[in-house]
Structure 1
Amino acid sequence: MNIHYLQHVPFEGPGYIKEWTDNTDHQLTGAHLYKEEKLPSPDELDALIVMGGPMGVGDEGSYPWLSPEKELIKRCIQEKKKVLGICLGAQLIADVLGAGVTAMSQKEIGWFPLHWSKESGEHPLLDFLPARQTVLHWHGDMFDIPAGALPLASSDCCPNQGFVIDNQVLGLQFHLEMTPEGLSKLISHSEDKLSTEGDYVQDPETMLNSSSFKTNNKTMAKMLDQFLAAD
């Protein structure tokens, strides 16, 4: 498959997804929107992956490329392309589908337990998931679940952590794709966010010394395998 990712900032790339595609027959290309690179046509791709970023879904005034990006996401969904959104990417999908995206009462940054829903374990794309898993969170906004979507997960801080629509659209608020190198870059560009006090903000040393990277990356790989193969 031709997989295309959209990257919003230099320090938040595809991470483990690149390693995964390197070991498959899939082709991975990307557009770096902060460089104002050209967006593809839906006809040029089979799957779209929308990465994270520090901006919000309504920040078109500061990031004018958000408007054509949203239009591409909408067209890909309409044309039955596979669409996966991670963090900001999931929020953009929710926004395009008419669901709200709002600020949370506190930020969630660090490795915290995720509770996969009973429904997610019964979905053919996600039937391998445990009931509970420690994942990396890095967000201060939360999406509402789009109409017709199946809620996938929650955390103690954030009730809406994922959704899926049929076998085509998948939104994840958290970062299964993150590698130690990627997290180090993210931390180095985010001192302002890490200065926030709260029950769900970890210090950089704790985050970087986590033993959960490999487990999360394996979950990402299995999820991609099943998501892209499903009719």
Structure 2
Amino acid sequence: MKIHVLQHSALNTLGTVEEYSRTKNHPLESTRFYKITNPPALDSFDLLIIMGGPMGIYDYEENPWLRDEKAFIKQTIEAGKPVLGICLGAQLLADVLGARVYENGHREMGWFPVKAVRTEGNKPEFLEGLPEEITVFNWHSRTFDLPAGAVHLFRSEGCKNQGFIYNDRVVALQFHPEVHKERVESMIMRFGGESGNGPFIQKKEEMFGQEKYLAETKKFMFKVLDKFEEIAGQGRLR
């Protein structure tokens, strides 16, 4: 499975995505639209992963390249490619699919549990084999509405829409399943002083360490990527 990643800053490293690609011997390439003008060819990858970033998805004046990236994401979806969006990447997917992205009622910064959304009329196959609840790393102030036709996947106490799946092959996750120890520490050291206060904002000392949560998050991320591996070339997530 050939993986292509869209990155939005030098700080937003690939974390366990890179570890997964090495473990599975999957080719991994990346594009930074803020540095280049030519997008990758659609036939050069099997899975597109859209990473997080510090900007807002409508910050066109400061980041005019966002329009080009959104156009590429739309083309990728229309071509039937599997796509995974993380944090900012999830918001970009929501926007491209016609949903609203806006400030959440609370900032979520730190380790907080997210729960799988399973109801009588909502039993996504994507959730099979994934935990009912998992404590994951959050670092966001914005949220999104579910796009028309999307299926709700995850929610948390501080943020109703933590994830969705669209057309059985496009997955958006507002939280950060890709983090490893160095990734978490770099985010805290760079942006921790700007987090402020609130019911879903942890102190720095509460965010550091957390080896148990890191291990569980890595296992979760690998399972998610295994699902994409299974459907690479098939166009449908199970």
Unpaired runs of 5+ in structure 1? none
Amino acid at match of 1:156: E
- 1:93-125 Cα distance to aligned partner (Å, 9 max, x none): 000010000101221001011111116994333
- In 1: Cα distance, 2:181 partner to 2:105 partner: 28
Q: Contact (CA 8 Å) 1:81, 1:168: kept in 2 or not?
A: yes
Identity between Structure 1 and Structure 2 (%): 40
Residue 116 of structure 2 corresponds to: 116
Q: Are 1:20 and 2:20 counterparts?
A: yes
Q: Secondary structure at the match of 1:30?
A: strand
- 1:30-87 Cα distance to aligned partner (Å, 9 max, x none): 0133434742122222211000011111011111111110011000000001111000
Amino acid at match of 2:91: Q
Unpaired runs of 5+ in structure 2? none
Q: Contact (CA 8 Å) 1:110, 1:207: kept in 2 or not?
A: yes
Q: Contact (CA 8 Å) 1:121, 1:128: kept in 2 or not?
A: no
Could you tell which deviates more after superposition, 122-131 or 152-161? Answer: 122-131
Residue 64 of structure 1 corresponds to: 64
Q: Contact (CA 8 Å) 2:124, 2:151: kept in 1 or not?
A: no
Residue 78 of structure 2 corresponds to: 78
- 1:117-136 Cα distance to aligned partner (Å, 9 max, x none): 11699433320122211111
Residue 52 of structure 1 corresponds to: 52
- In 2: Cα distance, 1:37 partner to 1:4 partner: 16
- 1:153-211 Cα distance to aligned partner (Å, 9 max, x none): 111110000000233100000011100101111112214432x1101111222111212
Amino acid at match of 2:215: K
TM-score by length of 1: 0.94
* Matches for 1:60-209 after TM superposition, within 5 Å: 60-118=60-118, 122-194=123-195, 196-209=196-209
- In structure 2, the CA distance between the partners of 1:172 and 1:66, relative to structure 1 (3 Å rule), is same
Moved over 2 A (4+): 32-39, 119-126, 191-194
Amino acid at match of 1:46: D
Q: Contact (CA 8 Å) 1:126, 1:223: kept in 2 or not?
A: no
- In 2: Cα distance, 1:192 partner to 1:163 partner: 31
